[in-house]
Copies of this chain bind each other. A is one copy, B any other.
Amino acid sequence: MNTIHGYSPSGNCHKLRLLLEQLPLPYRWIETDSSRGATRTLEYLALNPNGKVPLLVRDDGSVLVESNAILHYLAEGSAFLPDDPWARAQALSWMFFEQYSHEPYIAVARFICGWTPLDSPRRAELPRLRERGHQALAVMERHLSRHPWFTGADYGIADIALFAYTGVAEDGGFDLAAYRALRDWLIRVRTTPGFVPMPPPAPEHAALIAASH
């Protein structure tokens, strides 16, 4: 059985829980609070020298890191990743878009709102992060105005990758009102069979998020 080391309120980690629940595949989950240094211990750095969650460990001890690479590996041969090479390539393209043009703005804005003090100097980054995050949301909206999903014809891992932080973008101060097709897609994702929501952040983080807006 695969073991996941993950921090539950992290979107990158929740991607794996969502796919594993929907496949479904059995897994162990080791809660690893990256916001409290759990990914900076010598023991953890031996598993992932890059010091990030999530990671997957197989029974033989071999390790795979990077959330979207893990999604791709777990989904191979399932309905969550198409067989057609061009559709697979498009799904992977959206997953690279997510990590380069979406997550560094939308996830980081949420992190600053919920995981840094209200007087943190990092809050000065928020206007730029929101500007770039809205650019990513506009690219998604354009696609979703013409296609129901990001993973070819059906729901799959590119949807899971993009849903993870889009579904909690409001935590980072993103108003989604203008993105009608995107909001419809969020509802479609939330009603897929076996969908599980992201566990809420601990009260201290929820309070910081609430106080940020």
B-contacting residues of A (Cβ < 8 Å)? 49-50, 52, 62, 64-70, 72-73, 76, 85-86, 88-90, 92-93, 95-97, 99-101, 103-104, 135, 138-139, 142-143
Contact = CB atoms under 8 A, between A and B. Distances in A.
Nearest to A92: B69
A96 B142 contact: no
B50 A97 contact: yes
Interface of A is mostly: helix
Centre residue among A96, A99, A139 by max chain B CB count within 10 A: A96
A35 B163 CA distance: 32
B72 A92 contact: yes
A91 to B, nearest CB: 9
A94 to B, nearest CB: 8
Given A96-B96, A99-B96, A139-B49, A76 B85 contact: yes
Contacts of A72: 89, 92
Contacts of A49: 138-139, 142-143
Contact of A86 (B62, B93, B104, B143): B62
A92 B92 CA distance: 10
